[in-house]
Amino acid sequence: MAVSSPSADLSAALVLQPVTALDWLVILPVAWCIGIGAILMMVRHRTGLQPLIAIAALCVLAGIDATLLWHVSQNGPVTMVMGRWLPPFGIAFTVDLTGALFALMAAVVALAGAIAAVTDINDSGRRYGFYPLLMLLMAGVSGAFLTGDIFNLYVWFEVLLISSFGLLVLGSEREQIDGAVKYGFLNLVATTLFLIATGYLYGIFGTLNMADIVVKARELRDAAPLTTLMALLAFAFAMKAAAFPVNFWLPASYHTPRIVVSALFAGLLTKVGIYALIRVSVMLFPVERQELSFVIALAGVLTMITGALGALAQTDTRRLLGYLVISGIGSMLAGIAVGGPGGIGGAVFYALHSMVVMTALYLAAGLAARLGGGFSLSSLAGLYTRHALFSALSLMLFFAVSGLPPFSGFWPKVMLVKSALDTGAWWLAAALLLTGFLTTIATARLFLLAYWRPAGAGAPSGEVALPATLLVPLIALTAVSILIGLFPETLLGLVQKAALTLNEPSRYLNSVFPAGSAP
Amino acid sequence: MRSLILRTVAPLIVGLMVLFSIFVLLRGHNEPGGGFIGGLIAVAALSIYGIAFGVETVRRAIVFHPLAIAGAGLLLSTLSGLLSMVFHVPFMTGLWVYPVILGEEVPLSSVMTFDIGVYLVVVGAVTSVALSLEERGED
Amino acid sequence: MEPVFALLTGIFLTIAIYLLLSKSIIRMLLGVAILGNAVNLLIFTSGRIMREVPPVIGPGLDVPAGPVANPLPQALILTAIVISFSFFAFLLVLSWRAYSTLGTDNTDEMRVAEPEDATLPPLGY
């Protein structure tokens, strides 16, 4: 078997030097997820086998992503083009530190979800296809983090959206159908807006490769309506990320599916929107981001405050957590608005922290419902006497999400507040601190009512054992949060380097266009 | 549907359509055609078979569950892309082999296996939808 | 030719957004269908329109002879059509399920997931 080689000189259009095994790390996460998803589809009725395959596969995925992160941190961004075609002809997968960090964290979160699903998703849910959908969701998420092509990013958005539809209606209860209608329509509008922006982008640049756009944007900046394009993209991604005022689909739908599905959504989906916004606004259109920074900052402040106030007002634990997801998105938007290594690094760090902590919090809400018999704060009570370890874990997660030391939420908040003060945006720093305060009150209210309040007469009481498959992921994610909080140096260094690469993408460009073949 | 005419003609049409879908699939490499459109033709054939003889007959005829067929196709496509790893070229690079069968050179490629994968994905996924809709129509 | 297509895209988008703002799910579905077509037309137009030559390389040639139409927008549109079609199918089935389980196609009355009269927790204990 041989690679076909026509007679003409093809070095301008094709990659002709051999590809090393390490380069394959760029595409492997996606190919692996799709391949395993396909195998799981074929063994749909072997419900005992499915979790084993999926958990093993996600362990391997986390390994691949960790190796990829190591490779990228050592050697700079890595590129692989599909079918040897150089950009702008071929689709390029380019991974820099930001993408690798997000991909690794997503794999960790998905692994925790897959383990928790062993107990939470019953046989009929497995026959319906929970695990294949989870793997395809991970293919979409990994693809979105690793791709270097705008239209390809759109395709991965759709892949993860279709899988999330499947996961959302798993079980087909009335609540789920209701939530899915709102989730479906609004997310469809968001991705369509993204597609419209992609159409304009192609009309302006004649290319869809991100590195190519960076180069061409420098020349076209005065001649093309790039600010409008950036605004359209920012709006589409803000809708995906559930930023104010387009956040209403999230609290309407995130509490309806199985709790594991909610946890995975909270950890993965909105963060893909934030990642895409960071990628496009910081790397592709930095000048336009500067022009729009006030709008983004304002949206960020409103998102944080409405999220925190919404969390204060909720009586359903899952909806309360949904508002906390939104509030976190506001903090990331604030970082994007401030810009610079501090702001962008802070936003990336906050996103990584939020992926771990929000997933853990939803899993905790599921366990609380198992112990206390529901999700309503008016009936949940006395969880502390039912399971002390679980209560301690929950309290740590509440501290982490409020941004208190020594947990993972503290450091990104410090970075964001500091960079906001450095640029003179004192009101942004004040809003960040106020949000932290309101979040503390909201989670304290949750803890007081559900954990400390003595259970009424007739309510279930006494120590209860929890299934290990639910407790282990919770413990692991909490441990990750504590470790990040106590030893932040490694991650701080990585996110700052990631933000630098985004701000000054020359190494990214060099990886896509090796020396000499630049357009 | 209890129509004698349809039940008499159906096997003939269905056989012809499946044959034609494979022709379209293989023709697709250099000319209009391909896995997607070929797969849709095959689904149309299976749907006609289902209308004539009932959904259960179709499920027996295709042996595997439609979604398992789609999964197999997805796996085949992914593997065709990964095959280029062995030859030190990027993902999804077309690889060719020219065996001589019965004195005739037959070009085969990983592009073709990818397209066969697409064919199977379309056949599996759309058949699954079509059959469940027909099932609902029957009762 | 482009101004006509641009205008047509605008009209399509206007109709789609008007329909999507409706409370009735059926109208919203129609809006989604038109929205997909509006976007496809937009991509087609932004790829520059050229009517003379299809982007097909003749037999025995390595490169096309003379200028040809841009094939990339067509590939993008094909992808977008497949995706928007599958979305439409999903939303159609979902809406039908919503109508049969919730008994309404008015989004204002879909309050199962967000009940208006949830009992409040106590203010103290």
Range scoring the smallest mean pLDDT among A115-119, A305-309, B52-56, C45-49? C45-49
Please name the chains neighbouring C, where neighbouring means 3+ C-beta pairs under 8 angstroms: A
Within 8 A of A175 by CB-CB distance, chain C residues are 112-113
CB contact (8 A) between residue A175 and residue C73 = no
DSSP state of A141: H
Within 8 A of A35 by CB-CB distance, chain B residues are 74-75, 78-79, 82
Task: Calculate how close chain A gets to C80, using CA atoms only, in Å.
Answer: 8
For chain A, the residues whose C-beta falls within 8 A of a C-beta of chain B are: 1-4, 15, 18-21, 23-24, 27, 31, 34-35, 37-42, 44-45, 80-84, 93, 129, 132
Count of CB contacts below 8 A, A vs B? 83
Give the relative orientation of helices A340-372 and A468-486 as an angle to the nearest 10 degrees: 150
Any A CB within 8 A of B88 CB: yes
**Cα(A229)–Cα(A332) distance, rounded to whole angstroms?**
21
Task: Calculate how close chain A gets to C76, using CA atoms only, in Å.
Answer: 8
The single-letter code of the amino acid at A83 is G
CB contact (8 A) between residue B72 and residue A37 = no
pLDDT at A292: 92
In this prediction the ipTM stands at 0.93
CB contact (8 A) between residue A84 and residue B90 = yes
Tokens of A247: 């956040």
**CB atoms closer than 10 angstroms to residue B5:** 8
Within 8 A of A84 by CB-CB distance, chain B residues are 89-90, 93
CB contact (8 A) between residue C46 and residue A202 = yes
Within 8 A of A251 by CB-CB distance, chain C residues are 114
The residue of chain C nearest to residue A453, with distances taken between CA atoms, is C125
**CB atoms closer than 10 angstroms to residue A169:** 23
Within 8 A of A172 by CB-CB distance, chain C residues are 97
The residue of chain A nearest to residue B121, with distances taken between CA atoms, is A38
CA angle (C74 as vertex; C71, C78 as ends), nearest 5: 140
Nearest by CB to residue B95, choosing from A3, A23, A80, is A3
**Cα(B29)–Cα(A303) distance, rounded to whole angstroms?**
51
CB contact (8 A) between residue A41 and residue B79 = no
Nearest by CB to residue C43, choosing from A202, A252, A453, is A202
Is there a domain that residue A192 lies in?
Answer: yes
Any A CB within 8 A of B94 CB: yes
Tokens of A157: 């958005």
Q: Which of A140, A198, A195 has the alpha carbon at shortest distance from A165?
A: A140
| Domain locations in chain C as residue ranges | 2-51+70-104
Task: Calculate how close chain A gets to C25, using CA atoms only, in Å.
Answer: 9
**Cα(C28)–Cα(C107) distance, rounded to whole angstroms?**
10
Within 8 A of A255 by CB-CB distance, chain C residues are 113
Domain limits at A102?
21-512
pLDDT at A28: 92
As a dihedral over the C-alpha atoms of residue A240, residue A245, residue A248, residue A254, rounded to 10 degrees, the angle is 50
The residue of chain A nearest to residue B107, with distances taken between CA atoms, is A1
Q: Where are the alpha helices (DSSP H) in A11-149?
A: 28-42, 49-75, 97-120, 123-128, 130-146
Nearest by CB to residue B65, choosing from A4, A24, A44, is A44
Is there a domain that residue A299 lies in?
Answer: yes
C35 has pLDDT over 60: yes
Question: What's this model's pTM, rounded to 2 decimal places?
Answer: 0.93
CB contact (8 A) between residue C39 and residue A199 = yes
Q: Which of A186, A188, B65 has the alpha carbon at shortest distance from C86?
A: A188
Please name the chains neighbouring A, where neighbouring means 3+ C-beta pairs under 8 angstroms: B, C
Contacts of the segment B109-115: beta carbons below 8 A, 24+ positions apart: B109/B29, B110/B80, B110/B81, B110/B83, B110/B84, B111/B29, B111/B80, B112/B26, B112/B29, B113/B76, B113/B77, B113/B79, B113/B80, B114/B35, B114/B76, B114/B77, B114/B80, B114/B81, B115/B25, B115/B28, B115/B29, B115/B34, B115/B35
**C contact test, residue of A195, A256, A446 with most C CBs within 10 A:** A195
What does the pLDDT look like over C71-122, one tens digit per residue?
Answer: 888 889 989 998 888 889 889 988 988 888 888 888 888 888 888 777 777 7
Contacts of the segment C112-120: beta carbons below 8 A, 24+ positions apart: C112/A174, C112/A175, C112/A178, C113/A175, C113/A176, C113/A178, C113/A179, C113/A182, C113/A252, C113/A253, C113/A255, C113/A256, C114/A251, C114/A252, C118/A315, C118/A316, C118/A376, C118/A378, C119/A315, C119/A376, C119/A378, C120/A315, C120/A378
The class level of CATH for C2-51+70-104 reads: mainly alpha
pLDDT at A461: 67
CB contact (8 A) between residue B71 and residue A18 = no
What does the pLDDT look like over A261-286, one tens digit per residue?
Answer: 999 999 999 999 999 999 999 999 99
Any A CB within 8 A of B68 CB: yes
Within 8 A of A93 by CB-CB distance, chain B residues are 91
A289: CB partners within 8 A, 6+ apart: A230, A281, A282, A296, A336, A339
Q: What are phi and psi of A122, to 5 degrees?
A: -85, -175
Within 8 A of A45 by CB-CB distance, chain B residues are 65
A354: CB partners within 8 A, 6+ apart: A267, A271, A325, A328, A332
**Cα(A418)–Cα(A400) distance, rounded to whole angstroms?**
19
CB contact (8 A) between residue B78 and residue A34 = yes
pLDDT at A86: 82
Q: Which of A49, A29, A36 has the alpha carbon at shortest distance from A135?
A: A36
Share the mean pLDDT of chain A.
Answer: 90
Question: What is the pLDDT tens value at each position of chain A, 519 positions in all?
Answer: 555 555 566 777 777 777 888 888 899 999 999 999 999 999 888 888 999 999 999 999 999 999 999 999 998 899 888 888 887 788 899 999 999 999 999 999 999 999 999 988 888 888 888 999 999 999 999 999 999 999 999 999 999 999 999 999 888 888 888 899 999 999 999 999 999 999 999 999 988 999 999 988 888 888 888 999 999 999 999 999 999 888 889 988 998 999 999 999 999 999 999 999 999 999 999 999 999 999 999 999 999 999 999 999 888 999 999 999 999 999 999 999 998 888 999 999 999 999 999 999 999 999 999 888 788 888 888 888 888 899 999 999 999 999 988 899 999 999 999 999 999 889 999 999 999 999 999 999 999 988 888 877 666 667 788 888 889 999 999 999 999 999 999 999 999 999 999 988 888 888 888 765 544
Q: Is the dihedral of CA A318, A320, A322, A325 positive or negative?
A: negative
Domain limits at B64?
4-138
* Total domains present in chain A: 1
What does the pLDDT look like over B65-117, one tens digit per residue?
Answer: 999 999 999 999 999 999 888 888 888 888 888 888 888 888 888 889 999 99
**Residues of chain C by 3-state class (helix, strand, coil), percent to 5:** 60, 0, 40
**B contact test, residue of A27, A32, A40, A41 with most B CBs within 10 A:** A41
* Total domains present in chain B: 1
Nearest by CB to residue A80, choosing from B68, B70, B90, is B90
pLDDT at C116: 79
Strand partners, A85: A14
**Cα(A213)–Cα(A197) distance, rounded to whole angstroms?**
14
DSSP state of A93: E
Nearest by CB to residue B92, choosing from A34, A38, A82, is A82
CB contact (8 A) between residue A39 and residue B71 = yes
Please name the chains neighbouring B, where neighbouring means 3+ C-beta pairs under 8 angstroms: A
Distances (CA, A) of A249 to A140, A246, A255: 20, 8, 11
C-beta of residue A179 within 8 angstroms of C-beta of residue A256:
yes
Q: Which of A321, A366, A365, A361 has the alpha carbon at shortest distance from A118?
A: A366
C53 has pLDDT over 80: no
Is there a domain that residue A457 lies in?
Answer: yes
